[in-house]
């Protein structure tokens, strides 16, 4: 029987051990372009390691997932951060875990965050996370990450299966 994993609302404080929240709701702004635009500056740090890597911007279209969702593996990018920013307002789920024994994710500390369609996440280098779990149709995302020839994706099958049933660990306004 899979263990049920409850969702948490995404906040800067709760997500800090895993990366950055990219949002105009939680950032400081200043005017640019003669005051016609508000810039929310440096919401995430792009991390790039290795001699052949450089920051890159890509776009993806993610298929829509529906609850319940089984979580049986995680991945990490040891040589760079990876940001996911929705462009079509789609909510998504960020499943993360800290590093544990034997260079594996700590399954006892697995967490699932509900990411509103006006937020994005930036996973820090080496953070274990699940691949994109887009919750709506037409899920277009900007991805900012390391581009290079060195291997930069480790995958790990979990010792148990977790089940996201769409319920929240605490009341949330989503």
Residue 19: both structure tokens together: 């990366």
Question: pLDDT tens, 1-54?
Answer: 789 999 999 999 999 999 999 998 876 888 989 898 999 888 999 999 988 999
Instruction: Calculate what percentage of the chain has a pLDDT beyond 90.
Output: 82
DSSP state of 163: E
| Domains recognised in the chain with CATH numbers | 3-168 (2.60.120.480)
Q: For 13, list phi and psi in degrees, rounded to 5.
A: -70, -45
Residue 9: both structure tokens together: 């609302």
Q: Tell me the average pLDDT of the chain.
A: 93
Residue 3: both structure tokens together: 């263990």
- Ramachandran quadrant class, 33 (left: phi over 0; alpha: psi -120 to 50; beta: rest): left
- Rounded to an integer, what distance in angstroms lies between the CA atom of residue 97 and that of residue 128? 5
Instruction: Calculate what percentage of the chain has a pLDDT beyond 70.
Output: 97
Residue 64: beta bridge partners?
Answer: 134
Question: pLDDT tens, 65-120?
Answer: 999 999 999 999 999 999 999 999 999 999 999 999 999 999 999 999 999 999 99
Per DSSP (E only), the strands in the chain are 3-9, 19-23, 29-32, 37-40, 54-62, 69-76, 82-86, 92-97, 111-115, 119-123, 128-129, 133-134, 139-147, 154-168
- Rounded to an integer, what distance in angstroms lies between the CA atom of residue 92 and that of residue 64? 9
DSSP state of 170: S
Question: pLDDT tens, 43-70?
Answer: 999 999 988 999 999 999 999 999 999 9
């Amino acid at each position: 029987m899979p263990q049920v994993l409850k969702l948490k609302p995404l906040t800067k404080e709760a997500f800090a051990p895993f990366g950055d929240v990219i949002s105009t709701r939680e950032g400081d702004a200043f005017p640019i372009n003669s005051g016609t635009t508000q810039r929310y500056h440096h919401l995430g740090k792009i991390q790039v390691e290795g001699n052949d890597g450089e920051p890159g911007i890509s776009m993806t279209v993610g298929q829509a997932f529906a609850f319940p969702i089984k979580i049986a593996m995680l991945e990490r990018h040891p040589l760079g951060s990876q940001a996911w920013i929705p462009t079509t307002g789609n909510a998504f789920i960020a499943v993360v875990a800290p590093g544990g024994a034997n260079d594996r994710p700590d399954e006892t500390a697995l967490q699932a965050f509900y990411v509103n369609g006006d937020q994005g996440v930036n996973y820090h280098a080496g953070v274990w996370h699940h691949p994109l779990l887009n919750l709506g149709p037409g899920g277009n995302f900007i991805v900012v990450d390391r581009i290079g020839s060195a291997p930069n994706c480790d995958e790990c099958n979990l010792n148990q299966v977790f089940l996201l049933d769409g319920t929240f660990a605490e009341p949330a306004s989503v």
